[in-house]
Structure 1
Amino acid sequence: MPFQPIEPRRLYRQIADQLRQLIQSGEFAVGSRLPAERDLALKMGVSRPSVREALIALEVQGLIEVRVGSGIVVIAREPVRRLDNAHGPLEIIRARQLIECELAAVAARSEDSTLVPDLEESLREMESDIAARTLPIRGDRNFHLRIAQASDNSPLLAVVTQLFDERNGPLFARLGSHFERETTWKQAVAEHRAVVKAIERHDPQAARTAMSSHLEHSHERFSAGWTAPTETETPKSTA
């Protein structure tokens, strides 16, 4: 029998696999509740963000459902959807934080006269979509990619583009459905504006700090406690 390549499994996938096995073995029957996210992290000796990503993966596969007030409920023994080896949403944010903070500093040194007007236009686009209760992904994407373009480095632009477009995957989409609200998007716009102001002042350290703060807050928003959406708060996607 020929050897097969060994692929390292991401931590959240290992957690999800263990929970899936417990569900399939009957340890957690359909209709029962899994332990709380915090308890799972303690029992398994892992971080809560890793557990969060694992639960999102199981929810995408149709095995569990996060119900506000009822906890994490098992709804099926077998997955109804296959899940590829996608990156975890929270680790994507951390990767972006490492890269985009320095790109913001580089952008602050740019002499491109169109940079700040382009960034301000992306913010207006986001605000328009928020007002229309539409997910402001287009303006958000334009903002981050325009900053990357200011580096005049095509490999870095490609990396930022790939990382941002992970938002279109099922894990990020499901995570966003739980945590992205009109209020959180307005907070993101305000954080973006702080980045623009630093770039406009040609202050690399302030731009680096503002971008780091924005992506740190993004991580915190996706790591918050599970909350219920309301009709008046949830931006609707046009997709």
Structure 2
Amino acid sequence: MSDDVTPKKAWELVVDWVEQRILSGEYTVGSHLPAERELAQRVGVSRAAVREAVRTLQASGVVRSSVGAGAAGGTTITGAPHQALTRLLRLHVALANFPTPDVTVVRVALERLSTGLASRRATADDLARMRDLLEAMDDDTLTMAEFNNHDTGLHVAIAEAAGNRLASDLTIAIRESMRLPILSGLAALERWEDARAVLRTQHHAIVDAIAAQDAPQAVACVEEHIRSAYARMTSLHP
């Protein structure tokens, strides 16, 4: 019986080597990888394979490489999961591997969680950041793209105020991945000014509920906001 398993490439062996040490707890954020020559010897691959593996891990937000000697140089384990998640989700949404309706359902679930947590955990600084973004969006001179950027910023601020890193990173990644599809949907609307007024009202209601620590109201408001916005943007439908 033939073996159909494709042998792993050399750089994949390096990635596996690093992954195993992260999962075992040997490597944590701030840990240094061995120097290129040493790592190549340990894994039994070429230095070129190590370099390719490091580039892959950098793109995934797992490591950071810096030039220099000592603690400031070399390749270190970093913690930027939402950056990698955002990049991957944006590409897959664009390729329709994740249909927009599916992304919206997951987004509702995550933002309900984040908004509920933010209602209980948001600090004065968190609320001030949200209010600043609301004020920015109330400016009638903003372009549609500028408004959308502030809109994204508000959802990110709420997610970060939740105080749950995993929930925040997933929420941020999905909202960021939807930035361009949402902008396309806004551009397709016949009356942008009317839609903008509704979005402003909904944003203020969400932040008011968070500030009042009214989690049920905040959660209800954010779900209505996401679902109604999606329903209006017919261009988002596959």
| TM superposition score normalised by structure 2 | 0.53
1:202 correspondence with 2:213 = yes
> Which amino acid counterpart does residue 158 of structure 1 have in structure 2?
D
Tell me which residue corresponds to 2:149: 138
Deviation at 1:223, TM superposition (A): 3.7
CA pair 222-91 structure 1, distance change in 2 beyond 3 A: farther
State the alpha-carbon separation in 2 of the partners of residues 173 and 203 from structure 1: 30
Deviation at 1:168, TM superposition (A): 4.2
Contact 2:205 / 2:221 at 8 angstroms: preserved in 1? yes
How many residue pairs match? The answer is 146
Deviation at 1:102, TM superposition (A): 2.1
Contact 2:144 / 2:183 at 8 angstroms: preserved in 1? no
Structure 2: which 5+ runs fail to align?
7-93
- Percent identical pairs in the alignment equals 15
Residue 114 of structure 1 aligns to a residue in which SS? helix
More helix, by proportion = 2
CA pair 150-207 structure 1, distance change in 2 beyond 3 A: same
Tell me which residue corresponds to 1:156: 167
State the alpha-carbon separation in 2 of the partners of residues 146 and 173 from structure 1: 19
Measured on the aligned residues, the alpha-carbon RMSD in Å equals 2.8
Deviation at 1:177, TM superposition (A): 2.9
Structure 1: which 5+ runs fail to align?
5-82, 227-239
State the alpha-carbon separation in 2 of the partners of residues 114 and 138 from structure 1: 20
1:192-232, Cα deviation, whole Å (9 max, x unpaired): 110111111111111111111111211221248x9xxxxxx
> Which amino acid counterpart does residue 154 of structure 1 have in structure 2?
R
State the alpha-carbon separation in 2 of the partners of residues 176 and 116 from structure 1: 27
State the alpha-carbon separation in 1 of the partners of residues 234 and 206 from structure 2: 23
CA pair 117-107 structure 1, distance change in 2 beyond 3 A: same
Select which of 199, 214, 222 maps to 1:188.
199
CA pair 87-186 structure 1, distance change in 2 beyond 3 A: farther
Residue 124 of structure 1 aligns to a residue in which SS? helix
State the alpha-carbon separation in 2 of the partners of residues 201 and 172 from structure 1: 29
State the alpha-carbon separation in 1 of the partners of residues 95 and 5 from structure 2: 22
> Which amino acid counterpart does residue 113 of structure 1 have in structure 2?
A
CA pair 187-117 structure 1, distance change in 2 beyond 3 A: same
State the alpha-carbon separation in 1 of the partners of residues 98 and 123 from structure 2: 34
1:37-57, Cα deviation, whole Å (9 max, x unpaired): xxxxxxxxxxxxxxxxxxxxx
1:177 correspondence with 2:173 = no
Tell me which residue corresponds to 2:230: 219
Rg larger in structure: 2
Contact 2:118 / 2:163 at 8 angstroms: preserved in 1? no
**1:50-61 alignment, distance < 5 Å:** none
Residue 174 of structure 2 aligns to a residue in which SS? helix
| TM superposition score normalised by structure 1 | 0.53
